[in-house]
Amino acid sequence: MKNFIFLLAASTLAFSCNKKLEDSNIKDIKQDSQTVNSSDINIEEIPTLCYFDDMKNDSVYLKISDNLGTITGKLNYKNAEKDNSTGDVSGFKSGDTLKLIYVFNSEGTSSTREIWFLKKNEKLQEGIGNQDEDGNYTSAKQVKFEGGHSLKQIDCKEIAQNLK
């Protein structure tokens, strides 16, 4: 008798496990409130701007992306009487000032220096000031935005070949 009850219970269990999924109440499952619908996400493109200046026989090419105040990009100085330099810039925006670190190659070596630009009337005015041996400004108060390059905004297609 015990074997009969055990066999009946085992067969009932086996039949209930083979029940089709369509028979269950899947419609009653609610969507998780933490689930994000990909169509609800709106990712904006990070703005990219390009600037150029030609002062005497020297040229400066700058391409930057501004991701909510975090700046990254490329900078190229083409100098007539000194070696050229090309490299990457990264830093942040502080008010109207871009405070960047320029990592560049010149004369066969890699160097780093601080470079600031003041945004004024859709132009970037390069900051000039004393720098220490590591390339950092010795005094922020002494950085003057006069006498350096004044870069005007241009279409990035015009300077693409100069920023490779």
pTM equals 0.70
Query: For the chain, what are the domain ranges?
Result: 48-162
Which pLDDT band, with edges at 50, 70 and 90, does 98 fall under? very high
**142-149 LR contacts (CB < 8 Å, sep 24+):** 143/116, 145/116, 145/118, 145/120, 149/53, 149/55, 149/58, 149/60, 149/125
Give the tens place of pLDDT for each residue, 46-93.
Answer: 889 999 999 888 899 999 999 999 999 999 999 888 888 999 999 999
Give the tens place of pLDDT for each residue, 118-145.
Answer: 999 889 999 999 999 999 999 999 999 9
